[in-house]
Structure 1
Amino acid sequence: MITSFQQALGAARDAAAMQDYPQGALYVVATPIGNLADITLRALHVLQLADAIACEDTRHSQALLRAYGIDKPGGAWLAVHQHNEAEAAHKVLAALQDGQRVVYVSDAGTPGVSDPGARLVAAVRAAGLRCIPLPGASSVTTAVSVAGCVAHDAQHGGFEFVGFLPTRAAARRDALQQLARQRGCLVLLEAPHRILDLAQQLQAWGGRQVTLARELTKQFEEVATLRCDALHDWLRADARRTRGEFVVVLHPDAAPADGDERAHAAADTLQLLLQELPLKTAVKLAAELTGQPRNVLYEQALQWKKAQGGASDPA
């Protein structure tokens, strides 16, 4: 593996060595999310120049650099992860104030997006020191680029990065109910042990399109687009589909017609009432407040309860 990147190290020096790489600066470097060949030439050059490497997992990052033929002494490594980011920032600041070039890498992808790094950057900037970004791999933009999300109007273009949902059931349910009201593109991250739970809850989103991207850039990469209410069955049809790390891209919701707009408003009202009242009471009040048919609202409430793993025919 080391030999295969020797030419890349030479190319990195040829392509990037003429640029300025000031001392006493933090270099925030994106690393591959799976495929080692996705490293940039400038990242390779800066990793070679670095006096110190700050990273989430020193063992993981040491193995990564060695795969490229880059080796750093033990004293060059600083552990900076989500549990010690604030305290470890002081060590990084000391190194920067000593004139060192410090590179920060997360375990994979672009630091500070869903990985640690934001607190470190904030501390460095607050100290009046320079942060230099080196762009590269990101699971978020990689998934969005192949999702084919098309906004239905100018107001709902682009995408919102949500990241990981709360782990507690109630907070997770509330977060999804809030997100369901948004019509723009949403990007979530999910772990393999929670993907089926998420898919079950997304059944309530009906025909809205969702793109599921797993194991991006790796050997078993898979990208599939289907309806939200079909995702759970699709995952259960093949156990391999629940393995790996997931990016979930929820496509923009179609612009509702006038009648649909009223139905959306009624659904929002019903969701709020269900948080505080029994199902039948919530349905009755929602129908009275919005003028929507009670039986339609009742069926909608049952679908939500079923998607959340609740009783299918509540009293």
Structure 2
Amino acid sequence: MTSTTARLRDGKEITLRLIQDPPSDLIPQIHHLLHHKPSPYSSHFDDFFENSHEGIIEGLEWRFHLAFHEGVCIGNICTWEFQGIGILGHVYTHPDWRQLGLANHLLRFQEQDFARRTGHLMALNTGYQSMPYQIYLKHGYEGVPGAPGAMLKSENPGFWEEIYQAPTVQIAPLQWRHWPTANLLFLLEDPVLIRAAGIRIYGQGSVEGPFIFNRRQLWGLDADYRGQAWILETSGGNAAGWISLMWDPNWGYRDPHRVFDLFVHPNWRAEAHAFAATIDIPAGTRSYSTPEDPKNEVLEKLGLSLRGSIPSFFPGGQTLLVFQS
């Protein structure tokens, strides 16, 4: 089903359309509806509109679920998927059409399409206990314990853990197709605090925003200046680990040294050193950790030594450790 109609509370009829590759005459309407989105988001849209699936979002299925009244676009939901695992975002209703049930119609439309294609799991991030949060609860989403605002919906409660049961993993350069499952990786309940300092992920957290906010550093700069990231991916292409060398945001990206991050699903931590050893780590690279982090042993094997510590540095009382090569 790529198109259907629905009736709002005021009796007006709207048309709901599913579009993967927006035609050129529709792009200005989508831009106008979502013009409030800041630069990192708009540049992500621009790459898609200009290059479609040939751009840097290659491998990621992007769908627009749009609402129209008399040919004018008045509502949107985007989903980004890889093999039945997705992120839902850019949920927006034009101010003149709010409180009429439009968002609920769009959500049902999206959910029906996802179920028809046997989608496995959809994730989103919104304000904890906000009005949108309450709407998503009514649509079957559940909050992720430990990550306020992050929500998941799946017909198979055990699916999230099933994706990490693959017999092997391999290292691969980060691509946009990894976005949905990297999001699940960073949402895992795990005692590791500093998961990816280079993209500001501390503790459980969604990477829906950090991927977009770091789009320029990861893909937009010349090769000599951009950050580098790799994924430990299962045979199904799902993210089971993260390795990165990024410019350090803790120093305003002005420090000449990079920050090294390593976060791996517990099933694969025994192999973490072997994969990380394939990365060329420049002299002077830093890595941040805590005494409880299992990556400390790996850091020492890679030639990063402990240079300092700050007790009770984090709100939870954890000590900050600073390693450097």
Q: TM-score, normalised by structure 2?
A: 0.28
Name the structure where strand makes up a greater proportion of residues.
2
More helix by share: 1
**Does 1 or 2 have the higher relative contact order (CA < 8 Å, sep 6+)?**
1
TM norm structure 1: 0.28
Choose 1 or 2 for highest CA Rg: 1
